[in-house]
Amino acid sequence: MHSPDDSRTSITLADENATLALAQRLTARLKPGMVIYLHGDLGAGKTTLVRGVLNALGYAGRVKSPTYTLVEPYQAVGLDLRHFDLYRLHDEEEWEAAGFRDEFDGRNVFFIEWPEKARGLIPQADVEIAFEILEQGRNAEIHANTEMGRQCLEQL
């Protein structure tokens, strides 16, 4: 993976296994407190990536999309991971009432689907991955916003 700007990379993911392989490479580089935004249309592969990360961490259970609960915590996997899907987040009031603010304590690793629904409420992303649905497979644009993010993407 090479690009003129070290902090931005584009990868073609031919099939689901390629998405899972990307997730596996990413897993080795996760650090506590890291925030990763996952962009892309419905069905683009955001949850698939999170499933790949959890599998790589040794989590054997089912990874369900937190469509209605908005967040699914995973603890027994070496890292404290929070998987958010904010597609159905209504407003700031719902966010505060659910106590989500307290989740961002710098220790958990966050994967956030539909972060645009909580603009201004969630911390800045260290890494952003934008999935695009192609006729066959997907394209992933990966971008780092912070030093932690840049280190994570080095030689991904």
Ligand X SMILES: Nc1ncnc2c1ncn2[C@@H]1O[C@H](COP(=O)(O)OP(=O)(O)OP(=O)(O)O)[C@@H](O)[C@H]1O
Q: In the complex, which residues of this chain contact ligand X (CB under 6 A)?
A: 13, 15-16, 18-19, 40, 42-48, 65, 85, 87, 113, 137-138
Please give the Cα distance from 26 to 140 (Å, whole number). Answer: 13
C-beta of 47 vs 108, nearer to Mg ion = 47
C-beta of 15 vs 91, nearer to ligand X = 15
47 binds Mg ion (CB under 5 A): yes
Provide the minimum distance between the beta carbon of 44 and ligand X in the complex, in angstroms, as a whole number: 4
User: Residue 44's binding partner, choosing from Mg ion, ligand X, none, with beta-carbon cut-off 5 to 8 A by kind?
Assistant: ligand X
Please give the Cα distance from 21 to 104 (Å, whole number). Answer: 27
65 binds Mg ion (CB under 5 A): yes
Q: How many C-beta atoms surround the C-beta of residue 85 within 10 A?
A: 24
C-beta of 49 vs 153, nearer to Mg ion = 49
Please give the Cα distance from 1 to 100 (Å, whole number). Answer: 35
Shortest-Cβ-distance residue relative to Mg ion: 47
What is the SS3 assignment for 84? strand
Provide the minimum distance between the beta carbon of 40 and Mg ion in the complex, in angstroms, as a whole number: 9
Provide the minimum distance between the beta carbon of 87 and ligand X in the complex, in angstroms, as a whole number: 6
Instruction: Answer whether 131's CB lies under 8 Å from 46's CB.
Output: yes
Please give the Cα distance from 120 to 139 (Å, whole number). Answer: 27
Instruction: Answer whether 137's CB lies under 8 Å from 13's CB.
Output: yes
C-beta of 34 vs 112, nearer to ligand X = 112
Please give the Cα distance from 130 to 128 (Å, whole number). Answer: 7
Interface contacts to Mg ion, rule CB under 5 A:
46-47, 65, 113
